[in-house]
Structure 1
Amino acid sequence: MWLRRRLLPPKSYIRLFSSQAEASVKLDNFRTLESNPTNHTEAHLNRFYTIDPILRKTTLYKKSMPKQFFEGIKPFAEMCLMVREPAVEVIGYLNKTDYKRPVNRFVFYGELGCGKSLQLLHLIHYGQVNDFIIVHVPWVPYWYKVPKERSNSETRDGFLDVNIDAAEWLLHFKTQNAALLQKLDLKCSKEYVWSEHETTPAGATLLELIEHGISRIRFATDTINVLVEELKQQSTAGNCRTMVAIDGFNAFFHPKTLIKFDNRVKATPENITITQPFLSLAQSDWSGGVCLLVADKWALTKERMESDFPKYLLHRKGFEFLDPFVPIHVDLYNDQEFDSVISYYLDRKWIQNYTPGMEKELKFISGGNGYKLRGITAPL
Structure 2
Amino acid sequence: MHAIIAKASKFCTKLEYELFRPVFKPVFASSKCCISSEQLPVRARERQIHLPEQIRPSHNEPSRHDLNDVGLFYTIPPEDFSRLCPNPGVGNGFSVRYLEDMKAFNECAVMIRRPALEVINYLKHSDFSRPVQRYLLYGDSGTGKSMTLQHITHYCMKEGWLILPTMYAWAWNMYRSRFRLTQRDEVLESQWKSERYDQPLMATQWLGMFRELNSQLLKNITTTKEYTWTKREKTEPGKALENLVDLGISRPRIATDVIGSIMREIRCIPAENRPRTLVTIDCFEALFSETWLKKKVGSSERLQPNELAFFYNLKKLISNTWTNGAVVVASSGKFTTEKEKSSAMLEGHLIYDIIGSEGFDVLDPHVPVEVPNYTHDEVLAQIAYYKDRKWVLDTALTNEGKQEIVYMACNNPLNLELVCGGFV
Output the TM-score relative to the length of structure 2.
0.79
1:178 to 215, 218, 226: 215
Once the 2 structures are TM-superposed, how far is the Cα of residue 286 of structure 1 from its aligned partner?
A: 0.5
CA–CA distance in structure 2, aligned partners of residues 231 and 69 of structure 1: 32
2:134 to 101, 105, 108: 105
Is the CA contact 2:132–2:323 (under 8 Å) kept in the aligned structure 1? yes
Partner of 1:15: none
Q: Tell whether 2:331 aligns with 1:261.
A: no
Q: 1:243–1:334: structure 2 CA closer, same or farther, 3 Å change rule?
A: same
- Over the residues paired in the alignment, what is the CA RMSD in angstroms? 1.7
Q: Tell whether 2:242 aligns with 1:242.
A: no
Secondary structure in 2 matching 1:274: helix
CA–CA distance in structure 2, aligned partners of residues 368 and 200 of structure 1: 53
Letter in 2 for 1:168: Q
Q: Tell whether 2:108 aligns with 1:79.
A: yes
1:32 to 57, 60, 77: 57
Is the CA contact 1:147–1:162 (under 8 Å) kept in the aligned structure 2? no
Is the CA contact 1:236–1:287 (under 8 Å) kept in the aligned structure 2? yes
Is the CA contact 1:235–1:242 (under 8 Å) kept in the aligned structure 2? no
Is the CA contact 1:310–1:319 (under 8 Å) kept in the aligned structure 2? no
Once the 2 structures are TM-superposed, how far is the Cα of residue 350 of structure 1 from its aligned partner?
A: 0.8
Q: 1:58–1:306: structure 2 CA closer, same or farther, 3 Å change rule?
A: closer
Once the 2 structures are TM-superposed, how far is the Cα of residue 236 of structure 1 from its aligned partner?
A: 2.9
- Tell me: higher relative CO, structure 1 or 2? Use CA pairs within 8 A at least 6 residues apart: 2
Letter in 2 for 1:217: P
Once the 2 structures are TM-superposed, how far is the Cα of residue 377 of structure 1 from its aligned partner?
A: 1.1
2:79 to 54, 57, 70: 54
Partner of 2:377: 336
Output the TM-score relative to the length of structure 1.
0.88
Unpaired runs of at least 5, structure 1: 1-25
CA displacement, residues 132-181 of structure 1 (integer Å, 9 cap, x when unaligned) = 11111111111102246111222212322211111111111111111232
CA–CA distance in structure 2, aligned partners of residues 196 and 291 of structure 1: 36
Partner of 1:19: none
Secondary structure in 2 matching 1:302: strand
Moved over 4 A (4+): none
Secondary structure in 2 matching 1:157: coil
CA displacement, residues 347-366 of structure 1 (integer Å, 9 cap, x when unaligned) = 00011242312222112212
CA–CA distance in structure 2, aligned partners of residues 225 and 136 of structure 1: 14
CA–CA distance in structure 2, aligned partners of residues 232 and 176 of structure 1: 19
Partner of 1:365: 408
Letter in 1 for 2:99: F
Q: 1:117–1:299: structure 2 CA closer, same or farther, 3 Å change rule?
A: farther
> Which deviates more, 43-52 or 154-163?
154-163
Partner of 1:44: 69
Secondary structure in 1 matching 2:225: coil
Partner of 1:11: none
Is the CA contact 1:234–1:240 (under 8 Å) kept in the aligned structure 2? no
2:162 to 130, 133, 141: 133
> Which deviates more, 349-358 or 115-124?
349-358
CA–CA distance in structure 2, aligned partners of residues 27 and 95 of structure 1: 30
Once the 2 structures are TM-superposed, how far is the Cα of residue 86 of structure 1 from its aligned partner?
A: 0.2
Letter in 2 for 1:354: A
CA–CA distance in structure 2, aligned partners of residues 205 and 212 of structure 1: 11
CA–CA distance in structure 2, aligned partners of residues 110 and 123 of structure 1: 17
CA–CA distance in structure 1, aligned partners of residues 348 and 268 of structure 2: 40
Q: Tell whether 2:344 aligns with 1:302.
A: yes
Once the 2 structures are TM-superposed, how far is the Cα of residue 304 of structure 1 from its aligned partner?
A: 3.5
Letter in 2 for 1:34: H
CA–CA distance in structure 1, aligned partners of residues 85 and 56 of structure 2: 20
Is the CA contact 2:93–2:282 (under 8 Å) kept in the aligned structure 1? no
Secondary structure in 2 matching 1:377: helix
> Which deviates more, 192-201 or 72-81?
72-81
Partner of 1:346: 387
Secondary structure in 1 matching 2:165: strand
Is the CA contact 2:138–2:331 (under 8 Å) kept in the aligned structure 1? yes
Is the CA contact 1:167–1:217 (under 8 Å) kept in the aligned structure 2? yes
Once the 2 structures are TM-superposed, how far is the Cα of residue 259 of structure 1 from its aligned partner?
A: 0.8
Letter in 2 for 1:321: V
Secondary structure in 2 matching 1:283: coil
Once the 2 structures are TM-superposed, how far is the Cα of residue 328 of structure 1 from its aligned partner?
A: 0.7
Identity fraction in percent: 29
Is the CA contact 2:204–2:248 (under 8 Å) kept in the aligned structure 1? yes
Is the CA contact 2:52–2:380 (under 8 Å) kept in the aligned structure 1? no
Is the CA contact 2:335–2:345 (under 8 Å) kept in the aligned structure 1? no
Unpaired runs of at least 5, structure 2: 1-50, 178-185, 337-342
Is the CA contact 1:140–1:299 (under 8 Å) kept in the aligned structure 2? no
Q: Tell whether 2:171 aligns with 1:142.
A: yes
Secondary structure in 2 matching 1:359: helix
CA displacement, residues 26-71 of structure 1 (integer Å, 9 cap, x when unaligned) = 9752211221111211111111111112112213443342222222
Is the CA contact 2:85–2:209 (under 8 Å) kept in the aligned structure 1? no
Q: 1:276–1:236: structure 2 CA closer, same or farther, 3 Å change rule?
A: farther
Secondary structure in 1 matching 2:368: strand
Q: Tell whether 2:241 aligns with 1:206.
A: yes
Secondary structure in 1 matching 2:60: coil
Is the CA contact 1:114–1:371 (under 8 Å) kept in the aligned structure 2? yes
Secondary structure in 2 matching 1:311: helix
CA displacement, residues 186-245 of structure 1 (integer Å, 9 cap, x when unaligned) = 111121110100111111110100011111111111100100111223363452111111
Once the 2 structures are TM-superposed, how far is the Cα of residue 317 of structure 1 from its aligned partner?
A: 1.1
Partner of 2:329: 293
Once the 2 structures are TM-superposed, how far is the Cα of residue 316 of structure 1 from its aligned partner?
A: 0.9
What count of residue pairs does the alignment treat as equivalent?
A: 351
